[in-house]
Chains A and B, each alone.
Chain A
Amino acid sequence: MAIENGRLRDHGLQSERLLWPTKGPGVFEQEVAALEQAVGLTTLEKAVAWAQTKSMWPDTFGLACCAIEMMSIVSPRYDIARFGMEAFRSSPRQADLLIVSGRVVHKMAAPLRQVYDQMLEPKWVIAMGACASSGGMFNNYTTLQGVDKIVAVDIHVPGCPPRPEALIEGIVRLHEKVMAGVPPAYEIRGVAS
């Protein structure tokens, strides 16, 4: 089966299996392994995926409280410079990853979509926090109930706000997805990017 000698382990698994060697593959790994077999990347594509993962630059899209926790992953303790991601680009043209951190309201939905459109492919979106994933505790006239209504989201990170470790776990899982050959969410869903 692909999981025993599949690419996840080859490339140095960063998720819970490293810390827990006797644990079997989790649901995430099984699904990704199935995709890996189906996708079957060539060596060049694997190299490109590796390069994309190791320096995926986020865009400065901090909206509310989650932005503060997003800033703290840049802080010395939860350093994401280890993952090559401390360069938060202000221009969406230079960014690969859009971490939507915070509640998105209808007034902000248009700028969000505009920023997403300005990003160049391939691009990934992490919906950080409960408000970006589903509207959070704000089920009302003004809050967008989940940012996946307007952009295609790859990873949802739960929490209110998620701990920096939780956000880093989400980022690492995104890296694993990319290295496994999973296409970005807009391709999977077949939506405009």
Chain B
Amino acid sequence: MAVAPEQLIYEGTRIPSPTPSVLQVPEDLRASEDILNINFGPNHPSTHGVLRLVVDLHGEEVVGLAAVVGYLHTGFEKNMEQKSWWKAITYAPRIDYLAFQNNELVFVLAVEKLLGLEVPGRATWMRMLLAELNRIHSHLVWLGTAALEIGAISMFWYCFRERDRILDLFELVAGARMHTRYFQVGGLAEDIPPGFFGECAKFVELMPKAIDDYEGLVDRNPIWLERTKSLGLLSADDAIALGQSGPVLRGSGVDWDLRRAQPYLTYDQVDFRVPVYQEGDVWARYRVRMEEMRESVRIVDQALRRMPDGPWIADDRKVVLPPREELHTSMESLIYHFKIVTEGFRVPEGEVYTAVESPRGELGCYVVSDGGPKPWRVKFRAPSFVALQATATCMSGALIADMIAIVGSLDTLMGEVDR
């Protein structure tokens, strides 16, 4: 399943040394006077947020590259240590702000693992449905902005048309377009409103035709192919050594998807393909994401059909608020409600690492609890943080215009990188 593709993308390794994430100007060029050191500053339209790239240019060719991050470091982890477990969930979606519910999902899964809590079927299926909608949303924004940067400007409007439909669905189910905070420890915060399934079914109908539209725009366009094929090559071994995951890894020929290999939620009960491409270039990653969108639509379709009825949150009163009707009749429920709302529930001592397949790769959450009402340490393993390290390797022999395409294809999101 893992490594060993038939044809190698390139021989050996291209990871720069000594520092794997910094491309150093070669000695002979450094002596000559032709190197121009340019700063692609934090405020740049094409760098997907506040990324700073310090590049050394020899003519048009990029011979040195170093990425400077930290322009969006918001101190999430320290803030989450100050809040109770319930309130900390609010911080999570703002880390990866394009696939926001994936962050909530991974944090909530980690806390549930520590608690040993069983989540009811309806909540699990709905979580999977929303995670896949998030994947489509993230890929749509990626496609729109990456194409915009390469020059296919009209793609932006096409993608955002569908993206607004997905945000409508989120608004329908949770009340807010983004950062819904709909996942709760134990299940979902509220039951799924009526009318959601109908709207979602309509979306599932129209989405494949929309993906056909996008492919019709760029798939066979010679300019697109020139600008994306054979650029940003990353071999499978290098990708694994650099810790890449998600479409970057699958575009390099490694068949690895956490939904398949380590099924969480109910991914083992739905039927979907995992696209893998062998070329390891920008075009391969683009194709992987397009096909992932199609597969996500299929998963959403299956989840819609098979959504079970039942409770939407677990029944454990120590962790989950009791239903309001009970508060009038039962003294224990009132006490539990009071304890959970004021002090917060307690999570037993321990440490866990949970990982899900976010649209960017393996999103992991390492949670340490001391048995109290607040987290002791929360660390989010952001796939974009790791993907940015690979820019130096992908950039060998690239021109400055290719750099934009390559950084775009790695799909980095600075909120994740800097946390």
Contact = CB atoms under 8 A, between A and B. Distances in A.
A72 B163 contact: yes
Interface in A27-82: 60-65, 67-69, 71-72, 74-78
Contact of B42 (A67, A78, A108, A137): A108
B57 interface: no
Interface in B1-57: 41-45, 49-50
A67 B43 contact: no
B43 A137 contact: no
A178 to B, nearest CB: 24
Interface in B137-157: 141, 145, 156-157
B123 to A, nearest CB: 25
Contacts of A115: 43
Interface in B157-176: 157, 160-161, 163-164, 167
A64 B75 contact: no
Contact of A111 (B42, B74, B141): B42
B73 interface: yes
A161 B71 contact: no
Given A64-B97, A65-B97, A77-B161, A140 B79 contact: yes
B161 A75 contact: yes
Interface in A135-182: 137-143, 160-161, 163
Contacts of B44: 90
B51 to A, nearest CB: 11
Given A71-B160, A77-B161, A64 B72 contact: yes
Contact of A161 (B70, B91, B156, B179): B179
Interface residues of A, number: 37
A103 B43 contact: no
A141 B278 CA distance: 45
Contact of B73 (A67, A105, A111): A105
Given A60-B45, A68-B97, A111-B43, A102 B72 contact: yes
B71 A69 contact: no
Nearest to A143: B74
Contacts of A76: 157, 160-161, 164
A107 interface: yes
19 contacts: A63-B49, A64-B74, A68-B97, A68-B98, A69-B178, A71-B160, A75-B161, A77-B160, A78-B164, A90-B44, A90-B45, A102-B72, A108-B71, A137-B91, A140-B74, A143-B75, A161-B177, A161-B179, A163-B177
Interface of A: 60-65, 67-69, 71-72, 74-78, 88, 90, 92, 102-103, 105, 107-108, 111-112, 115, 137-143, 160-161, 163
Given A63-B50, A90-B45, 10 more contacts: A64-B414, A65-B100, A68-B141, A75-B161, A75-B163, A75-B164, A76-B157, A107-B73, A112-B43, A140-B79
